[in-house]
A and B are shown apart, each in its own frame.
Chain A
Amino acid sequence: MALASTATLLRRAFASAAAAHGGHEGGARTWKILTFVVALPGVGVCMANAWLKMQHGSHDPPEFISYPHLRIRTKPFPWGDGNHSLFHNSHTNPLPTGYEGPHH
């Protein structure tokens, strides 16, 4: 959240700077430069960061405890067997009765 507003503030500063001196010719060029020097490299850095964190974060899913406030089924889902959520992942999402099959 803080990151988003700081970046927005920075963007606004850039925009008003461009408007002040670039006028109508410099506008597109300024934002093109920002795209390839700030925005896309920023995405690249975050991609690298996410990739590195994901690699050494893989561990087994937590053991199954049948809490009543989780895996609620007051009504079956309108698809499949009615017991699997839309983005069901048998490795990380246990059913109300526990993980499906031999989970690793």
Chain B
Amino acid sequence: RQAHAYHMVDPSPWPLTGATAALLLTSGLAVWFHYHSTTLMTLGLILMLLTMYQWWRDIVREGTYMGHHTPPVQKGLRYGMILFITSEVFFFLGFFWAFFHSSLAPTPELGGCWPPTGITPLDPFEVPLLNTAVLLASGVTVTWAHHSLMEGQRKEAIQSLALTILLGCYFTTLQAMEYYEAPFNCAE
């Protein structure tokens, strides 16, 4: 019996399979680009999906049936989420930096102007605005799901979560359409 409230995790193979999947995916990508074989990458993908399913299944078991997610453990999990969101913020910061670097002082190779010569930008108030509304709406529905869960309302929790996922699928579909319709692509 332990004399503390922390979670001493049982030995698990998933960190190893996850790391192996990462290796197979990255090297598989390089092999695909240079030697035109998708075998390694496919193996990595399968291993990654298996790892995700089994690792998260184990976490659900540990946190519910086995009672390991005590308040101090939950606090740690919250810290983890905060750290992840922070890293996500920096991820986007990078994109904004790159954009402003290129657009505020456009090089002669682009025609010395922004947007670059030959590039017709998308109207931000068309599909991009719709996608913003979809994402914000999914934030509202997921908050509804959260509160339903906390209040023990199973049916509403499922409904609101389903709505959230539906909105996510709608966003992805719209993005795919935008990618297809756009007059420019990654080679520009």
Task: Give the Cβ gap from A25 to chain B, nearest Cβ, in Å.
Answer: 7
> Chain B, 153-179, contact with A by CB distance < 8 Å: what is the 0/1 string?
100100010010001000000001001
> Chain A, 89-104, contact with B by CB distance < 8 Å: what is the 0/1 string?
1001100000000000
A-B contact count, CB below 8 Å? Answer: 128
Chain A residue nearest in CB terms to B35: A78
Task: Give the Cβ gap from B141 to chain A, nearest Cβ, in Å.
Answer: 5
* Residues from chain A with Cβ under 8 Å of B182 in the complex: 87, 89, 92-93
- Selected interface stretch from B2-10, B51-59, B123-131: B123-131
- Does B137 count as interface, using CB distance less than 8 angstroms? yes
* Residues from chain A with Cβ under 8 Å of B176 in the complex: 87
| Chain A residues bordering chain B, tally (CB within 8 A) | 47
Rounded to whole angstroms, the CA-CA distance of A67 and B36 in the bound complex is: 29
Rounded to whole angstroms, the CA-CA distance of A15 and B176 in the bound complex is: 33
Rounded to whole angstroms, the CA-CA distance of A27 and B132 in the bound complex is: 24
Interface of chain A, helix or strand or loop or mixed?
A: helix
- Selected interface stretch from B14-22, B67-75, B76-84, B142-150: B142-150
Interface residues of B in 103-117 (CB under 8 A from A): 109-111, 116-117
- Does B186 count as interface, using CB distance less than 8 angstroms? yes
* A87, B109: Cβ atoms closer than 8 Å: no
Chain B residue nearest in CB terms to A82: B36
* A35, B140: Cβ atoms closer than 8 Å: yes
Other than the given A30-B147, A87-B182, 9 more pairs (CB < 8 A) read: A15-B143, A35-B144, A43-B134, A50-B127, A54-B126, A65-B118, A73-B187, A75-B33, A87-B176
Q: List 30 A-B contacts (CB under 8 A).
A: A3-B129, A24-B150, A28-B150, A28-B151, A28-B153, A31-B140, A32-B160, A35-B137, A35-B141, A42-B136, A46-B134, A50-B127, A53-B123, A57-B123, A61-B183, A62-B183, A67-B118, A69-B116, A69-B118, A73-B187, A75-B33, A78-B33, A78-B36, A85-B187, A86-B185, A87-B180, A88-B185, A89-B181, A92-B182, A92-B183
